[in-house]
Every structure is written in structure tokens, then in C-alpha cells.
Amino acid sequence: MTTGTIEAPRSDEALVLGALRANINHIDNQMIELLAQRSRVAGDIGLAKRVTGRAIHDPLRESAHALDLEQAASRLGLPARLGRELALLLARHGCAAQLEQPKAPRARGIAPDSESFRLARWEPGRHTVVSVGEARIGAGLHEVIAGPCAVESERQVQEAADHARACGVRILRGGAFKPRTSPYDFQGTGMPGVRWLADAAHSRGMACVTEVLDPADAGAVAEHADLLQIGARNMQNVPLLRACAATGRPILLKRGAAATMRELLCAAEYILVAGNPGVILCERGLRTFERETRNTLDLSSVPALRELTHLPVIVDPSHAAGRDELILALCRAAHGVGADGVIVEMHPRKCEAKCDQRQALTPRQLDEICNEVHLVQTHLA
């Protein structure tokens, strides 16, 4: 006689798992059908708006809808964040469907003369999503990265992190090594600043991004920062591109103020060819004859880069505008042209900012942007 528990034969386990998977596949297929139905309704809404001359993007309605979905998710025992992220995705795709005019499908090809950035160039089926902490940049959501221009002190970055977190920011920015135009200006707090930034972000559940200026610092910075920034001035600094790529950390690569999109993609290629696939491109404005703004934000680069590359693209309206009062409007525009997010500067005490004071957002201005563009409510799940 034998004793002990009877184990289900493996084939039964496989049967149960197979049935459960079939069930979940069925639910997913139903969701896709509902999404297709939703997209058709969004197209009709777009037509109705065109006929009545109303704007397609309606941030107030999107914000209210995000709150509704967040509460509905909570009521059903799901994380509120799921409701919010779903609202973001739906708003983005809903806008696209509303803008869609009936037309013949466009055949999309690989960019001509693109051998020099063959790893960065768009190809059918390639779509890069870069994970940084909880954020997934390129996954269809519009991420808001925020924080001070410069890490000035431990207290300042802690305060900035509190405000950023309260706004729902998931990636805190802050420059510890500052590439200042004049050598007499504040140059940053160096490695201690990197550690303060990382502590402030990580202790609040956020990730952080900081600029690397010197290839020799890349390894040390990468021990603390989740995302390494290569600034506009250094976009074509090949040793820096290689040193940052070698750390394995994802890289935020800013477009030079006088660089073409193809030059930006060639710079990204240095990182990709070194075996690091995590590149996020950033448009931050070009140097032009215009003096009312610090730089001229080339928003056309966002859809144009989409045609050329599979890499995610974000926008930095702070360094483009150079003035805090323009930033909300430019964030709306970045969202409108389909950017994967924005990176903005916010100082907890604007009047004390040691660097780029004129363009620093106040915490209240950041909150306004996050509520409208990011659709993140100030109370976190």
C-alpha cells in the first residue's frame, strides 16, 4: 500500500494552464475588438469637431476622463495607476484617431541613405521602448521628467524631489556636472551632487537622470544614476558617447543646437553599435536668429524622426524657450506632435536658482503641466 498525496500528472497541469491561457487570450481579443470600436467612435468625434471647428485636443476632458478611469479601477480592486495609464494611452490613440483623415494606407519604407545609422533607422516591426525605473519611454505614454537644472545642495534636491513626486513625476532630473557657457558661472556640485540626486529620487521611488561631461566620470555616475544624459554641447563627443554606452545604462541623447537630425541619429548609432540599445533622443531647440526665445524649438523633428528611427523621442521645452511662461504651451505642443514625453526644469525656490533661473518652473507650474499633459493626478496611487 502506498501513502502520501497524489500528484496531478503533468498533462493535467498543462490542460489547466492551457484552458486559463485560452481564457485570457479570449479576453485580450475582446479588448482589441472594443479598442477598434472605440477608435471608430473617436474618428466620428474628430469629424464632428472638424465640422464644428473645435480643437481636437481637449486637455480638460482628458483629465476628467483620466480621473474617472482611475476611480473605476480602484473600485474594481485594480491599481489606480492602471486606470490612469490606460487613460493616457486611450487619450493619445483617441487623438490620433480623431486627427485621421480618410486616406489610402501609406507604404512606409526604410529611410534612404541611412546606412550610416543602420541600427538606429526605422525598419518594419522595430519600436524601441526604454525602461527607466517605473517609466517605459516609447510605450505610448507621455512621460514628464522634471527637476532642477542644477543640483545645488542636498536640501535643494530633496525639496525638488518632494515636489516632483507629488506631481507624479517618475524620473527626477538634475545636473551635477554643469556645462556652463562661462567658466565664472556655477559649475555644479560634481559627484556629491550625483549622490544627493540619486538618494533624493530613489528614497521616493523615483529614478533619476543626470548629465555626464567627462568620459572618465561615466562609470562613477552610472553607479548612481538610472539614465545618463549627454548634453547638446556634447552630442558629437565620440569618447563620451562610447564611455557612456559602455556603462550599459540607458542614455538620454540631446540634439546639438546646430545638429541635423541625421547627425543626431549618427551620434545615437555610436551608442547602439557599442551594444547599448537604450537610447532616448531629445529635441531641445536650435540656435537661430530669433532672440525672443533662448533657442527655437524644432517640433517638426518629432514626427520627422519618427519616420527615420525606431528610437523614442522626447522634447525639452525649458532649454528651447528659456522662459517659464512658455513651457506649458510647448508641452502641449510636444504632446500634440506625438513626443514620448518632455523633460522640464523646476526649482523648489525659483528666486534662488543658481542656474537657468529664468526658465525654471515653480512647483505649482509643474503641477499644472503634469495635471494637463501627463494627466497624472497629484495624489499618487
Which residues here bind ligand PEP, judged by CB under 6 A? 149, 175, 179, 211, 231-233, 254, 284, 316, 319
**Nearest 10 degrees: Cα torsion 155, 156, 159, 163:** -170
Q: Which is nearer to Mn ion, 70 or 345 (CB)?
A: 345
Residue of closest CB approach to ligand PEP: 231
Query: How many residues of this chain bind Mn ion (CB under 5 A)?
Result: 2
Query: Of these, 356, 367, 369, 373, which contacts Mn ion (CB under 5 A)?
Result: 356
Question: Which of Mn ion, ligand PEP, none does 254 bind, CB closer than 5 to 8 A by kind?
Answer: ligand PEP
Torsions phi, psi for 225 (to 5 deg): -90, 145
Question: Closest separation between CB of residue 50 and Mn ion, Å?
Answer: 39
Contacts of 181 (CB under 8 A, 6+ apart): none
Q: At what angle do helices 238-246 and 261-273 cross, to 10 degrees?
A: 40
What residues does 150 pair with on adjacent strands? Answer: 175
Q: Which is nearer to ligand PEP, 38 or 233 (CB)?
A: 233
Q: Which is nearer to Mn ion, 340 or 356 (CB)?
A: 356
Question: Closest separation between CB of residue 375 and ligand PEP, Å?
Answer: 24
Contacts of 55 (CB under 8 A, 6+ apart): 49
Question: Closest separation between CB of residue 252 and ligand PEP, Å?
Answer: 9
What does the DSSP 8-state code read for residue 295? Answer: S
Question: Which of Mn ion, ligand PEP, none does 231 bind, CB closer than 5 to 8 A by kind?
Answer: ligand PEP
List, in sequence order, the alpha helices (H) in the chain. 10-52, 59-75, 80-99, 154-166, 190-202, 218-222, 238-246, 261-273, 301-308, 317-321, 327-336, 363-369
Q: Checking DSSP bridges between strand 130-132 and strand 135-137, what pairing results, if any?
A: antiparallel
What is the C-alpha separation between 166 and 156, in angstroms, rounded? 16
Q: Which is nearer to Mn ion, 149 or 305 (CB)?
A: 149
Torsions phi, psi for 322 (to 5 deg): 75, 5
Question: Closest separation between CB of residue 302 and ligand PEP, Å?
Answer: 16
What does the DSSP 8-state code read for residue 204? Answer: T
Question: Which of Mn ion, ligand PEP, none does 232 bind, CB closer than 5 to 8 A by kind?
Answer: ligand PEP
Residues 148-167 that bind Mn ion (CB under 5 A): 149
Q: Which is nearer to ligand PEP, 94 or 188 (CB)?
A: 188
Question: Closest separation between CB of residue 292 and ligand PEP, Å?
Answer: 18
Question: Which of ligand PEP, Mn ion, none does 284 bind, CB closer than 5 to 8 A by kind?
Answer: ligand PEP
Q: Which residues bind Mn ion (CB under 5 A)?
A: 149, 356
